[in-house]
Amino acid sequence: MKTLLVVFHSMTDGTRQMAEALVAGAQQETGVSTRLLRAPEATPDDVIDAQGYVFATPENLAAISGVMKDFFDRCYYPALDRINGRPYASLICAGSDGSNAARQIARIATGWRLKPVAEPLIVCTRAQTPDEILAPKAIAAGDLVRCHDLGAQLATGIALGIY
């Protein structure tokens, strides 16, 4: 069975909610299994064994989180040239913009020779003060539906061999 690997990091639960909604959508496709892993737990073997990917991160200081960076640092070279052409998408839980974090993931994925199959899904929480930034997040229902639908799209494309 083909596998969609979802690797995420979340300090305030926003990114976790997005990733879980995506997985719920992907699980509607019977031809694909999903693996939801926290970034510190994901290994190069997890990356190599999957047929598609979602990378989900908060935007921290206009960048991917350090924990996601660590995941890419640990897995990049062991997976290089072993996952070429596989599909990926990204989820960003941003306080303001999220575009630089999305660009960072795209650059890493380009180095891995992955194929983007959706625009980065960025949810902006508008958290700007220290208290707002550090507070637990509640992602709006409409944004969770967008994540769910992306998961269904990815899993269907992987199952059908479109990607």
pTM for the whole thing? 0.97
Across the range 143-152, mean pLDDT stands at: 98
Task: Kindly report, residue by residue over 10-61, the tens digit of the pLDDT.
Answer: 999 999 999 999 999 999 988 899 999 999 999 999 999 999 999 999 999 9
Full domain range(s) for residue 117: 2-160
Is-contact 118 153, C-beta < 8 A? yes
Across the range 128-154, mean pLDDT stands at: 95
pLDDT attached to residue 30: 83
Is-contact 47 75, C-beta < 8 A? yes
Which CATH number is 146's domain given?
3.40.50.360
**Containing H/E element for 72?**
helix 66-79
Q: Domain count for the chain, please give it.
A: 1
